[in-house]
Structures are given as C-alpha cells and as structure tokens.
Amino acid sequence: MHYLVKLNTQRSASMEPVAGRGDVYVSPEGDRGWIILESENEESLRRDLEGQEVEEVQPVLPAHEYAAILKARRDLENSKTQFVDDPSEALGKARRAVGQALEARGYPSPERSNETTGSRQEVLQEYQDTDMGDTGNLEDMRSAFDRLSKVLDRLTRI
C-alpha cells in the first residue's frame, strides 16, 4: 500500500532517514513536504517513520482500484433498494460488487484466503461472513449489508 505522508521539512534532521531512499519524492510546501512511501500497512509505516515529524498520513490508491471501490459502493447502495422484493438476490448482487472491488485491489478469491496474511485475511473473512446462502434470516441479511459497507471502507485503507 502507498501512503501520502506530510512531514515537517523545516528541520533537515527530519528528512535524513528518507533522504537516501530512491523511492522517495518530496513536494515542498513551505516548511512541509509531502512524500509517497510504500509500506505493508499504516502501523509499520509509522514505526519506520518514528522520530520524524509526521503531521499526516493518508493511504493512496491507484485510480482504477479506487474507481472499483466507488462502483462497488454505488452497486451496494442500489442493491439495497431491491432488498424488500428479493433479499437474497439483493445481497448476492451486493456481494458480487464488493467481490469485484476486492479483486481490483489484488485480493485472492475467498477460497484462497490462506494465501494472504494479516489484515488482508481479516478483510476476506469479513467478506466471507456475509455469505448467507439461502439460510439467512432477514436481520442477518440486513447486517450483512452493513458489514459489506465496512469491508469497502477497509479497502480504502488496506
């Protein structure tokens, strides 16, 4: 995952740890600098930047991945309108939309979730837990929509 990091560049000591890296680009803004760094997750990034004056950290995504998440969000909201008439079909459509966003973000299929680790495996488990089949009751299906929405939220950060 790539992160946009805002550093205080006024003190040269805060730039020393990243100055020797060839993958770091700085966009100066007065006494601040924006850099893009790659890290497994935000927690490990913050550990790597410990001791530096970090003002802000934001995840950044390739445009096609972000577009897939936005499309899945629209499709999920549209499928909610069909819930009253056919709850199982509406949930199935929502799951397919979120599944396509997972695929666009590079997640393995749920059947191959053991091929990934950590937070990505948690996201896949959350997604799998929304599979009600034909046995879920209406309240479980409603809850699954909320969990699918949370999966999409996590996709923008992981």
Q: Are 35 and 25 in contact (CB under 8 A)?
A: yes
**How many domains would you assign to the chain?**
2
75 lies in the same domain as 142: yes
53 plus 74 within the same structural domain: no
| 3-class secondary-structure state, position 25 | coil
Nearest to 123 by CA among 141, 145, 99, 91: 99
C-alpha 72/C-alpha 101 separation (Å) is: 6
- How far is residue 107 CA from its own chain's centroid? 11
Tell me: do 10 and 42 sit in the same domain: yes
Do both 134 and 79 map to the same domain? yes
Residues 40 and 84 in one domain: no
- For residue 50, what is the domain's CATH number? 3.30.70
pLDDT, tens digit (0-9, with 9 covering 90-100), for 92-102: 999 999 999 99
Using the predicted structure, report yes or no on whether residue 12 has a pLDDT greater than 60.
Answer: no
Note whether 143 and 89 are same-domain residues: yes
CATH (domain of 68): 1.20.120
| In a shared domain, residues 18 and 89 | no
Q: Are residues 35 and 103 in the same domain?
A: no
**55 & 69 share domain:** no
Are residues 92 and 55 both part of a single domain? no
Q: How many residues does the chain have?
A: 158
CA atoms within 13 A on the CB side of 56: 9
- For the chain, the 3-state helix, strand and coil shares in percent, each to the nearest 5, are 55, 15, 30
Which residue in 127, 133, 132 sits closest to 151, CA to CA? 127
134's tokens? 């034909």
Question: For residue 36, what are the domain limits?
Answer: 2-60
Residues 123 and 88 reside in one and the same domain: yes
Structure confidence by residue, pLDDT tens digits, 105-141: 988 887 887 787 778 888 999 999 999 877 778 899 9
Tell me the pLDDT tens digit for each residue of 52-101: 778 888 888 899 999 999 999 999 999 999 999 999 999 999 999 999 99
